[in-house]
Amino acid sequence: MIARGADSAARGQQARDAASRAGVQEKRRSAGGDHWVLNNRELGIQKVIRVGYDILGLITFYTVVGKEMRAWTIPRGTTAYEAAGRIHSDMQRGFIRAEAISYDDFVMCGSEHAAREKGLIHVEGKEYVVKDGDILHIRFNV
């Protein structure tokens, strides 16, 4: 119980330190004008969010349906099977496989078709550990 409390306190301190560093960077750079204040505030917030995700052990994966892309937050170490359940319980129950591509590879190729032609989409089973930034297409049958 004490160790759990100490771990929680350490995480809280890490989050406060990250927020503080983001604020200091914003103040240092804000002398350049209003435009820089806005950009730095956004960068500071993004940094705090990223550090928060790291502290909490979270990652983001994406799904694409038509022209809509959706982000899903899951714990680091989550399998494709478990990720399917986060989307919908029927997807987990009828899981067949997951097709995965990294976000960076997808953007570089410009389309799913181009990524498939280059062999960048890989087929994975239930035990595949989802990576931060993966785009998943879950194949299932219920």
Structure-token match 């089973």, residue found: 125
pTM passes above 0.85: no
pLDDT tens track for 98-122? 999 999 999 999 888 999 999 999 9
Say what percent of the chain tops pLDDT 90. 58
Domain locations in the chain as residue ranges: 2-56, 58-140
- Model confidence at 23, in pLDDT bands (50, 70, 90)? low
Report the greatest alpha carbon distance in the chain.
Answer: 59
Structure-token match 């029927």, residue found: 90
| Distance separating alpha carbons of residues 48 and 113, to the nearest angstrom | 35
Cβ atoms 36, 29 nearer than 8 A: yes
| Distance separating alpha carbons of residues 137 and 89, to the nearest angstrom | 15
In CATH terms, the superfamily for domain 58-140 is: Beta-grasp domain (3.10.20.30)
